[in-house]
Amino acid sequence: MPALAPSSRFESERLTGDGFVLRPWRPADLESLLHHANDAQVVRGLSSRFPHPYTRRDGERFLSGEVVDLDDPVFAIEVDGHACGGIAARPGDGERGQSAELGYWLGRSLWGRGLMTRVVALYAPWAMQRMALFRLQATVLDFNEASARVLLKNGFIEEGVARCALLKNGEPHDLRVFAKVRRSLCDAP
């Protein structure tokens, strides 16, 4: 089993939602991670940091903190005792330190049940409060309507489109930009 990166400030967090739990990743999640992450349909809407095929080495690197900073709130989505997806907020730095980039994914066997909408509904306000954020932003590839719906249902506003912002499988794609903001840290996220 891979070793996890050194403890993070979020290691004791556990958020319970309707039919799921959000909690830090752990070494025992490796097999479940490999099962759900090694799916071309899951990867098609994600950044290149999420490879396909998704190998055992990829899972070990992720769980050890080599791929993302596990000191950030990088959580497994647990359903029925198994990690079947993930959600994270990567904070900005410097003058962008009060904003973060939201990212998430879910194993295909759980698509179409409203699970990710419920996950984002729990995680986004928690992250904004816990990280003292004014802005939580997410970008969605132009063809990923399901992800856009998740954000819109959770009060994110579509702010625009970054045209031809990235290449995915050799093709240029637009990125739709969504954000949830607040003007004061006293405002509800």
Give one word for 63, left, alpha or beta, with left for phi > 0 and alpha for psi -120 to 50. Answer: alpha
Q: What is the reported pLDDT for 121? A: 98
- What value does the mean pLDDT take over residues 85-105? 95
Q: What is the reported pLDDT for 8? A: 67
Report residue 149 as tokens: 């719906």
Angle between helices 56-63 and 30-37 (to 10 degrees): 120
What is the SS3 assignment for 47?
coil
Taking only the tens place, the pLDDT of each residue in 57-68 is 999 999 999 999
Nearest in space to 147 (alpha carbons), one of 174, 116, 179, 125: 116
Q: What is the reported pLDDT for 45? A: 87
pLDDT above 90 (res 88): yes
- What value does the mean pLDDT take over residues 172-188? 93
**What is the reported pTM?**
0.93
Cβ–Cβ < 8 Å for 54, 40: no
Q: What is the reported pLDDT for 79? A: 98
Cβ–Cβ < 8 Å for 23, 13: yes
Q: What is the reported pLDDT for 7? A: 53
- What value does the mean pLDDT take over residues 95-121? 96
pLDDT above 90 (res 49): no
